[in-house]
Structure 1
């Protein structure tokens, strides 16, 4: 490199330094001053990472006094350049020496960087083009926001997420039965609303005990980083904003806390939100004269917030009046009078019967024809053909009752659940426990109410430890421990989940299993940090070298997914049917491939045996889900606690009477629930065939390897280290020479990722990468918002063309102003041209991939020489390229306008027709669609063409 004082150079590695000036040349070293940043750099002359700044005729340059010059000629004297041309503000001839160029000069346009010698690596040009094409495809994809979560692809969940998530300001009640995934549905809806730009600020209100579970679920499953707000957080946030809730976009807080803190409720109410989510909405008690304070809080927020999601597994738990009240929160104009609501509901049964006839293919009765004709506003024949049946059913599902704002799936209507088998093992009561119980009785330890006595009697190991001390381990004689050891040895190659009521029991058992038989186990309890629990769960999930058994305290019942195991040991039983169902629900999930074997070791002649029989014979709670469990438990709890506290035998008449009462109430409630099923609503909620088609589409996307290829190239070019750990897992760590200081979503300590959904579901310690993951989206944004890969120079070996023949590849982008809703119709759209020296476009004949495979990269010095020798040609071809790309922009905008009009007009017509027969369609939805169409039409008309990247190729014979 030939350096001279006063010359202007730019750093290849630190482009933010601005334009540098050579201030010293000493032997083998050169010193550059960068006035814009006030920095000096000393380089070795031979390999300095800098590029000489040289402009050419046709360029526009800026002086240090901020006036601009259109260059006509360039003069070089003693190594220094002087530019002659026309000053743009005066129109007069002017000269500008290079030393007086603006210090803040940056090369942002791809052609400027190319001519300035800032040539990128060939692979980065390819990466940029792929980023553009993948971003375009994903923003147009109808599955955007659905496949990105760490969730199984379950039809009814995906159907609800798609149906609700793509609405403007959705207001719905999600009322699926326990275990069918309401939290997942809500997460997918929130994810879609945020990705699609329909919402920016989300407030989730939950019971205090569920705050952390929601926080973790949103982060683990959907990469949504909510902030948990309590009194302490509000005090801290007061330093950032006058209203603490203005400091975060995504917020979770306790409804109980807002109920108690009027000032905090006022702050939440004064904040602008787009979407409100309320979990456990069945706790919102209401009557016309005395609504609860919690109901009033949600009502006040729902009046101001456009979108509202209410979640409840038991919509009628507080009575039908409260169910009406929750619908009233969603649409007070539609549900204004309870008596009118009841009258309307009377017709649902007739409609459901007619729908059932359509489903079964039976001939319609005259009454059914009349009902359907009245509901649909058209004459329905007695024996419609198959196609007509499907069309009629589809219209009926859309227009029927509360179907647009209420979604309820039941296990009776959803397939895919495994068989549950109970293995109850009676074991003799050890003498040590008998002695401990007698001692407790003599010392007055049987005091307290019946519930407290029952809880003590169910856990004899606690009584023993209380009197004998912690050193006298009950695991030496308790027959349940020997039985558990034998089970683990018999199922040596299978995973076993053990749940106990307390952490101390789990820890003691793990120690006994490890010391007596060397069984690999992990513990999971509330005394561990979240990271420690994740590690324990991951150790249990490992197929090779992992723990055979995971021993959990009751916290193991919280929302964790262990469906890769099929053995569940209930070392003790909870005094709550809901907790029992939650325990079993860790394994009994959609997607479980094996029978769920529920092992219950119990001590004979103790309250454990009574409680086991009450659950099994009274409620059938082990082998079937038990939606009646809680109300029946509340009805008989006093009698149940009394029997458990006195430890009366299983043959006692009082226990027989309790069993009979429990069975009768269980059957009566079960029959009532079955009669109350709205089968048409269930069909609408499950999605039918379209939901299964959506699953098939997402399965196909999961099998596509394009994401893996793109992501690995992205990590390579950015400089992220990759270490393949097997089992579909890759460890990513920041490299020492990354292109950027930090990579979006990548922790400083690195992380382990997988592209496989099944692996991610079984190992929650892995990051699940999809097109919708912030790391991939952030990586694409990082590339496209910078100059990375914006130009390249390469050689193409081709004997059929003369050596030295140039080709110019131009990547234009057609884009409009940023509008979140515009992206689904007109995302930034790449236009590729491949021009020969005559300006002919060869792109249709030579694909990007085919060309890239044949190119040979060259060093920057040779690349600059080739570009400098062809600068005039390149300038001319760029101008020709703009002319060729202009008609393509018109085609793109016309297609976008057609897509937008078809989608919004179709939805508008559907909702207008639906509103005529189903008042649950809000007028605000229709008005929003009209206004959105006008706004997007205007934005599409403003589409501009931008040159995004340029690749110069020269033919060679060598």
Structure 2
């Protein structure tokens, strides 16, 4: 505790180090120091018991008043209270100074660098030259990223649709969204962006995740390896997030105090018929308790109205109420006609058929007669035909796309639903400079069949076929319901293909014993045990158990070796059971040069599956997976995929095949399916249905889960009751039903899909463009971080090419330990890359948002070194008397005060307001030079370029305390600087306000904001007229208010001086003027 007058102290929540200036009773008055002009800038009365005395560390920058009323700046080199040793620039001895005479700047950006100069506290311009390039880069990055630092600092590639979704969420004061992109398009990435930004905005926040059990490990890895959430770990090491499984219902209520809840595969938990269904009721309680919510679902448009409502009720309970289910059904019905009209618009309109397009537009005009923006858009599209009735195909396509986008954005069921579709994203344009990578899908290939000649496999096939034949006859004879037996048959057939018997035995045992068994999943056990056990089933099991052949796994291993070359990456999907372990052991026993064999098993210890995947990606080889590899994991690096078995349902197979048909630039993996020798057997029949009926090897069916399940059950029913030939004849019905469902979804998507462009498109391109400057970025940061005029840290290049920054044990940094603590963050944050293309898992991006870079930025803002400098520049060709110039640096940015008022969340809305402001008006630096001879701005570009040159040895001399008299001599006396410095600032500030380019930039920015806000106004009017087609006709009223506030904040921006330079241009040495 420090309570005596003159002592340096701090306290909880203090804005830095303060000084006790008075003591009354049990409290002390603590003031803070800004500059020699504002010696006491803020005060607080604090209980003496809450004060903590401060011992100044070496290198702490201090200000000391002199007897003549001036101030000197120095740095602490030793001592402790009540006496310190201070070293002043160009003084060859250390001065002992009482604590009561020392002042330390508070931890706030410098208000007025001119006052630092006037007080004689300026330091060498070399500090400025080391710091200014990084200051410029930090501002350039802020402008490029629009302060979306969570996106720019994440360890992922930059793609427009993902950036657009994340930006929309983090810039919304109400962050409750449904992310509904199709499978494989990066919903996890979008959620990761949002979570990282949320924690950057406030590191004290906490996030909860509810995910399918199979995805827990992958979520954990992605959040740490790509989004670096351990950057925000608590002091005791606890992470800022927790993950719970879908089945851990009793644990969900612990997330009610979370700042954000993320629910993956939310549709699985929203399959409810009433709000009281379990576990939907528990999910609703926690979803409504948290202030922010992200629902992730690739299949939001359920066939069941109740499931659709259940999902939206989680998102917005005030708008979508269970008590208004009938009204919700009517709303969906009303929207169907509009959806069909939009869906009917050709994405590739015929440039020679204006009559067809006019007919399609008429359907929209009839439904939305009051939408003036729609009418204007349709008129623009029709005008593309001109007098010749033949339109330019590209112009026409863009015009029709604009009409589709307008209708979708204006009449979306809920404006906080974001859905990107593959075909739309694939058409998005990249930047012309080639900095952005395309978002590509690895795709799918029809499989080749590997037919195993295995005695063990023949025994397994015989057992299942015998069981099916006898059950079929028994069902017919006893007139039993075939459906439960058909579902049991589907699980048994899923154990065929690989030529082994153990897992068929396990499935039969689970059915007969009606209890769980190793290698049988809970859904499979339910399907196996629904139907009554028939007496003959025990004999089928015993016959299979007595079979002595054990050649299946060896035959399969041999077939794999023939198809996988050394160095290739292959995945062998084995499904549930013991097969995966058997195949891995058989592969390792072979002498063939196959490469490493990796295991991805349910029984593996936590973390080992992730290690196996990382090793497989890095070294290649064969990754053998049981059901743990069918969901969650991404294997798009696979070159060969072998399906040792086929799952019992198309949705389960879609999940598996989606592991390799994902984002990636490689060609589709070669696919193989293992089967027995019979081309007409049960296993091959099911393969034909999956491939031809469901078309699963050609395109994703992930959006059609509900109907796919029912169609599969119908197939198994037909197989059991009518036989193979009949079941195969009905394959055409499967294709027709899927086509109808796909059309229904596409019609809904015509209204609900998101379209790119706008702010997200600009942000993605800006970040990619800034990333392309990585060599320049690295040079500037290295000079600041490791240079003699910078922080004097060490750097070491790692074996993977990353750089690690540490304190240099051989030299003391020119920054106090208190400030250096902002930079010397966790080692992980200080190890990474400046080049995004070199990133490896777990290594950081050196961008704003990384605590290390943010620490550097905060030190540059607080530490006034380099913010005020004075120098003498020797110019032998200068024909005039010495001339003094003042260079004033200004930061121009949007004024956030009106935006904060419109958002209405106080300081909690500051981060959102900052991003919105940076989107509207990119922050910029401007430097204005004033010549003292006429006190007018310098307009000559050549002179400005000369004045902006960095310090050059032998030419430039720092005007420190022992040389500053030369400046006073040129100006005409000691007191003149006190006048011309502030006067020059006033002239520079006035000139900046009148400068043509700045006025033009702010006017254009304000106009852009106004146009966007006017568009929202027009869309709101259209929604209100069409109230029967939307759930929330007035949803954008808050956005309109924020838009008008942004317009005000851009029209009259904030302008703040950040640095000042005084430069004397002279043909003679400074020493001649002392």
* TM-score, scaled relative to structure 2: 0.64
In structure 1, how many angstroms separate the alpha carbons of the residues matched to 2:1054 and 2:869?
27
Partner of 2:267: 282
Equivalent of residue 129 in structure 1, options 132, 139, 142: 132
Tell me if structure 1 keeps the 8 A contact 2:409–2:754: no
Establish whether residue 909 from structure 1 lines up as the match of residue 909 from structure 2.
no
- Alignment correspondent of 2:70: 59
Aligned to 2:927: 832
Q: Which of the residues 383, 386, 408 maps onto 1:385?
A: 383
**Helix, strand or coil for the counterpart of 1:496?**
strand
Indicate conservation of the 8 Å contact 1:218/1:226, yes or no.
no
1:478 counterpart (532, 551, 554): 554
- 1:298-309 mapped onto 2 (5 Å cutoff): 299=284, 308-309=293-294
Cα distance between partner residues in 2 of 1:745 and 1:455: 55
CA distance in 1, matches of 2:127, 2:605: 42
Matches within 5 A, 1:684-723: 684-687=753-756, 699-705=768-774, 706-716=776-786, 717-723=790-796
Distance 1:907 1:752 in 2: 41
Q: What is aligned with 2:469?
A: none
SS at match of 1:855: coil
Displacement of 1:165 in angstroms is 4.6
Compare relative contact order (CA 8 Å, sep 6+) and give the higher one, 1 or 2.
Answer: 2
Distance 1:277 1:622, change over 3 A: same
Q: Deviations over 1:261-301 (max 9, x none)?
A: 6xx73x755x484x554332323447775542444455556
Is the 8 Å Cα contact of residues 226 and 252 (structure 1) preserved in structure 2? no
Classify 1:691/1:671 alpha carbon distance in 2 versus 1 (closer, same or farther; 3 Å): farther
RMSD, aligned CA: 5.7
Tell me the distance in 2 between the aligned counterparts of 1:329 and 1:50: 54
Deviations 1:282-328 (A, max 9, x none): 23447775542444455556666665443222224461332134335
TM-superposed deviation, 1:926: 1.4
Q: Distance in 2 between matches of 1:211 and 1:464?
A: 26
Is residue 284–residue 292 contact of structure 1 (8 Å, CA) maintained in 2?
no
Which of 582, 585, 593 is the aligned partner of 1:517?
593
1:529 Cα shift? 7.3
Q: Distance in 1 between matches of 2:278 and 2:823?
A: 43
**2:304 paired with 1:319:** yes
CA distance in 1, matches of 2:460, 2:694: 32
- Mapped contact 1:510–1:551 kept (Cα < 8 A): no
Give the deviation of 1:384 after TM superposition.
1.7
- Tell me how many residue pairs correspond in the alignment: 851
Quickly say closer, same or farther: Cα 1:682–1:474, change in 2 above 3 A: farther
Native 8 Å contact 2:598 2:616 kept in 1: yes
Query: 2-side partners of 1:506 and 1:722: how far apart?
Result: 47
Match of 1:220 in 2: 225
1:754-833 counterparts in 2 under 5 A? 754-760=833-839, 763-787=840-864, 789-791=866-868, 796=873, 798-801=875-878, 809-813=887-891, 819-820=910-911, 821-822=913-914, 823-824=917-918, 830-833=925-928
Deviations 1:616-664 (A, max 9, x none): 34433234323356754565459859999xxxxxxx9834444445653
Give the corresponding residue for 1:106.
104
What is the aligned partner in structure 1 of residue 182 from structure 2?
177
Structure 1 unaligned segments of length 5 or more: list them: 1-15, 20-34, 42-47, 63-78, 82-97, 241-246, 442-447, 645-651
Tell me, in whole angstroms, the C-alpha distance in 2 between the residues paired with 1:529 and 1:777. Answer: 37
Aligned residue for 1:664?
Answer: 733
**Could you tell me whether the CA contact under 8 Å between 1:813 and 1:948 is conserved in 2?**
no
* Partner residue in 1 for 2:435: none
SS, match of residue 421 in structure 1: coil
- Give the alignment partner of residue 569 of structure 1, picking from 642, 646, 663: 642
Instruction: Give the 3-state SS of the residue equivalent to 2:1018 in structure 1.
Output: helix
- Go from structure 1 to structure 2 and tell me whether the alpha carbon gap of 1:847 and 1:726 turns closer, same or farther (over 3 Å shift): farther
Post-superposition shift, 1:60?
6.3
Q: 1:754 to 1:226 in 2, by over 3 A?
A: closer
Aligned mates of 1:205, 1:477 — CA distance in 2: 37
- Partner Cα separation in structure 2 for residue 189 and residue 925 of structure 1: 22
Which stretch of structure 1 is more off in the superposition, 682-691 or 400-409?
Answer: 682-691
Q: Distance in 2 between matches of 1:475 and 1:806?
A: 93
* Secondary structure in 2 matching 1:569: strand
Candidates 1025, 1041, 1048, aligned match of 1:930: 1041
Q: How far 1:344 moved relative to its partner? A: 1.2
Indicate the larger mover: 836-845 or 592-601: 836-845
**Per-residue CA shift, 1:789-824, capped at 9, x if unaligned?**
445676756432489876655445568788331452
| Alpha carbons of structure 1 residues 225 and 921: separation in structure 2 relative to 1, 3 Å | farther
Change (3 A) 1:941 1:636: closer
Q: Which digits, 9 at most, give the CA deviation of each residue in 1:712-734, with x for residues without a partner?
A: 44543444544456886445555
- Equivalent pair of 2:262/2:293 in contact (CA under 8 Å): yes
Aligned-pair CA distance for 1:217: 3.0
User: Aligned partners of 1:424 and 1:182: how far apart in 2?
Assistant: 32
Counterpart Cα distance in 2 of 1:549 and 1:842: 69
1:105: Cα distance to partner? 2.0
Structure 2 residues not aligned, in runs of 5+: 1-15, 20-51, 74-92, 385-394, 427-439, 466-484, 507-547, 898-906, 969-973, 1024-1029, 1070-1074
Matches within 5 A, 1:504-543: 504-505=581-582, 508=585, 511-512=588-589, 516-517=592-593, 519-520=595-596, 536-542=612-618
- The Cα shift of 1:80 comes to 12
Range with bigger deviation, 846-855 or 912-921? 846-855
Shift of 1:49: 11
In structure 2, do the counterparts of structure 1 residues 360 and 868 end up closer, same or farther at CA, with 3 Å as the change threshold? farther
Instruction: Note closer, same or farther for the CA distance 1:689–1:597 as it changes in structure 2 (3 Å cut).
Output: farther
> CA 1:571 to 1:879, structure 2 compared with 1: closer, same or farther past 3 Å?
same
Q: Secondary structure of 2:382's match?
A: coil
8 Å CA contact retained: 1:900, 1:933: no
Equivalent-residue separation in structure 1 for 2:319 and 2:17 (angstroms): 62
* Distance change >3 Å, CA 666–CA 439, structure 1 → 2: closer
Give the aligned partner of residue 75 of structure 1: none
Q: Does 1:597 align with 2:670?
A: yes
Q: What are the within-5 Å matches in structure 2 for residues 236-385 of structure 1?
A: 253=244, 257=248, 259-260=249-250, 265=253, 268-269=255-256, 271=257, 273=259, 276-285=261-270, 291-297=276-282, 299=284, 308-317=293-302, 319-331=304-316, 335=320, 336=324, 337-352=327-342, 355-356=345-346, 359-360=349-350, 362-363=354-355, 364-365=357-358, 368-369=361-362, 371-372=364-365, 374-375=367-368, 377=370, 378=372, 384-385=382-383
Are residues 897 and 699 of structure 1, via their aligned partners in 2, closer, same or farther at CA, if it must alter by over 3 Å? Answer: closer
Once residues 40 and 669 of structure 1 are traced to their aligned partners in structure 2, the CA distance between those partners, rounded to angstroms, is 72
When residues 923 and 52 of structure 1 are mapped into structure 2, their CA distance, relative to the original with a 3 A threshold, is closer
Hey, what's the Cα distance between the residues in 2 that align with 1:376 and 1:341? 19
Distance 1:506 1:112 in 2: 76
Q: Is the 8 A contact 2:144 2:766 kept in 1?
A: no
CA distance in 2, matches of 1:301, 1:464: 40
1:934-953 alignment, distance < 5 Å: 943=1054, 945-948=1056-1059, 950=1061
The SS at the match of 2:832 is strand
1:771 deviates by: 4.8
Indicate whether 1:421 and 2:445 are aligned. Answer: yes
Change (3 A) 1:561 1:845: farther
For 2:98 and 2:758, locate their aligned partners in 1 and report how far apart those are by CA, in whole Å: 70
Q: Retained in 1: the 8 A contact 2:806–2:830?
A: yes
Contact 1:227 1:252 in 2 (8 A): no
TM-superposed CA distance for 1:506, in Å, is 7.0
Match for residue 855 of structure 1? 952
**1:842–1:940 distance in 2 versus 1, CA, 3 Å:** same
Q: 1:389 to 1:325 in 2, by over 3 A?
A: same
Deviations 1:95-139 (A, max 9, x none): xxx966725422576678779998767665234323433343444
Distance 1:755 1:132, change over 3 A: closer
- 2:962 is matched with 865
